[in-house]
Amino acid sequence: MYKQTLFWIALFCCGFTMAQTTENYTPTPQNLKARQWFQEAKFGLFIHWGPFSIPGNGEWVMNNRNITVKNYTRLMDFFNPIAFDANAWVKMAKKAGMQYITLITRHHDGFSMWNTRQSDFNIMNTPYHQDIVKMMADACHEQGMPLFFYYSLLDWRRDDYSWSTGRTGKGTGRTKQEDWNHYIQFMKNQLTELLTQYGPVAGIWFDGYWDQLKNDTNKNQRPAVDWHLNEIYCLIHTLQPACLIGNNHHMQPLPGEDFQMFEKDLPGGNTSGFGGASVSHLPLETCETINDSWGFNLADTNYKSTAQLVHYLVRAAGFGANFLLNIGPMPNGAVQPEFQERLAYMGQWLQTYGSSIYGTQGGYLRPQNWGAITQTNGKLFVHILSDSVTTLQLPQFPFNKIKKVYALKSGQPVLAQLQNNVLLLTDIQQQQDEPDRVFVVEGE
């Protein structure tokens, strides 16, 4: 009865204050506090997992192979992840130095990883028959790990989704008439379940908005459908005011969103083809894979080195952004050793250098070819990522006076000179097997 009451209160509030939630969204104090925490967290774990892992060809296998709805639904009959251990996953993330987890609850294939009443295509109708989202939520709450829910706006399986106007999912065999209002209500019902049955939710991570756009290059275009985001966002903020909303639409944040995300690119970059959107003043996050795939891919062995991952984390922090690093567990629920090894290394590195990442702001200079800068009150951290650098000039230096400069790891002093607002670091020693030489500048 309590959950039902919450739902009707949310619907009433959203209907009554719709004008405010679109153009004049005002975040609550709880939401602002959550934004501050998020901005300082800097490192999170992304988990792409579901029945799409069974073919071993990534999470887009239904679309890429034009698997029909009828045939794809059969994956549900043998998704049985007996090696899944929610507590072990959360411990792994904490050991890696990660401050939050973003879990796939429903991807573009439409499979729900929880005990939903809105669709039969869900985890309870598999041989496993256990609520994955509940198990992860319980483990996260027990271990003090904030949990975000990834939720796909796009659906390659449902008939009521506007598949005729979408860019993807054309080969799944749907022929029935779409019912967009029914689909919107379906999403509202599912989000209400997620936000009323699993305790505090740190955020909702939306994806799939781009399916109803003609391309990813025009950052001002309108989608082919009305996503009813004002109603959806209002519902979320009413049910859980501290819950942060982000949307991977590859554009500037829309009203009601609480952080801006970048897919496989640093803020402002566009190496992936998804980027190019201007950077907002909201908290920032960039997501990336360890190999080249989000979901489990048997053939993908192009793993990024530990140095590459450290560099990505550092450069993201240099922009003031979080780094959401992805794993794609295997169908049985085990995390492949190549992922585990890299996460363990990140945790070891952060034990030494975490003070230069957590709680910092982006540097007064944007990341450069030589490296990046992060800073806090009275301290500036210089991350030298290029092995060839032995002398470094930092123009327009923000401190008027330098107290001391030293290597973060050893505490050894570093020769430095501040003159005409230029800081000169000289005789910078190379450090073997170190992906990042971090120097601390204390001043005022």
pLDDT, tens digit, for every residue of 16-30?
Answer: 444 344 468 999 999
Share of the chain above pLDDT 90, in %: 93
pLDDT of residue 14: 58
Give which of 288, 281, 282 is closest to 262, Cα–Cα: 288
Q: Which residues contact 136 (CB under 8 A, 6 or more apart)?
A: 86, 89, 90, 101, 103, 147
B/e letters for 344-362, b = 16+ CB within 10 Å, e = fewer, are ebbbebbeebebbbbebbb
* pTM for the model: 0.96
State pLDDT tens for residues 173-202.
Answer: 999 999 999 999 999 999 999 999 999 999
Give the max Cα distance, the chain: 72
Q: Is the pLDDT of residue 1 over 70?
A: no
% pLDDT > 70, the chain:
95
> Tokens in use for 269?
């970059």
* pLDDT, tens only, 40-80: 999 999 999 999 999 999 999 999 999 999 999 999 999 99
- Give the Å distances, CA to CA, from 4 to 7, 11, 115, 229, 367: 5, 11, 16, 22, 49
Q: Which of these, 429, 439, 437, lies nearest to 384 by C-alpha position?
A: 437
**Span 322-336, pLDDT tens digits:** 999 999 999 999 999
Q: Is the dihedral of CA 242, 248, 250, 256 positive or negative?
A: negative
Q: Helices H, strands E: what count in the chain? A: 11, 16
Q: What pLDDT is attached to residue 430?
A: 80
Contact 27, 38 (CB under 8 A): no
Tokens 């256990």 locate to 130
Buried b (16+ CB within 10 A) or exposed e, 304-332: bebbebbbbbbbbbbbbbbbbbbbbbbbe
Residue 102's pLDDT is 99
Residues 262 and 321 sit within 8 Å (Cβ to Cβ): yes
147 in Cβ contact with 204 (< 8 Å): no
β-strand partners of 374:
362, 381
pLDDT confidence of residue 22: 46
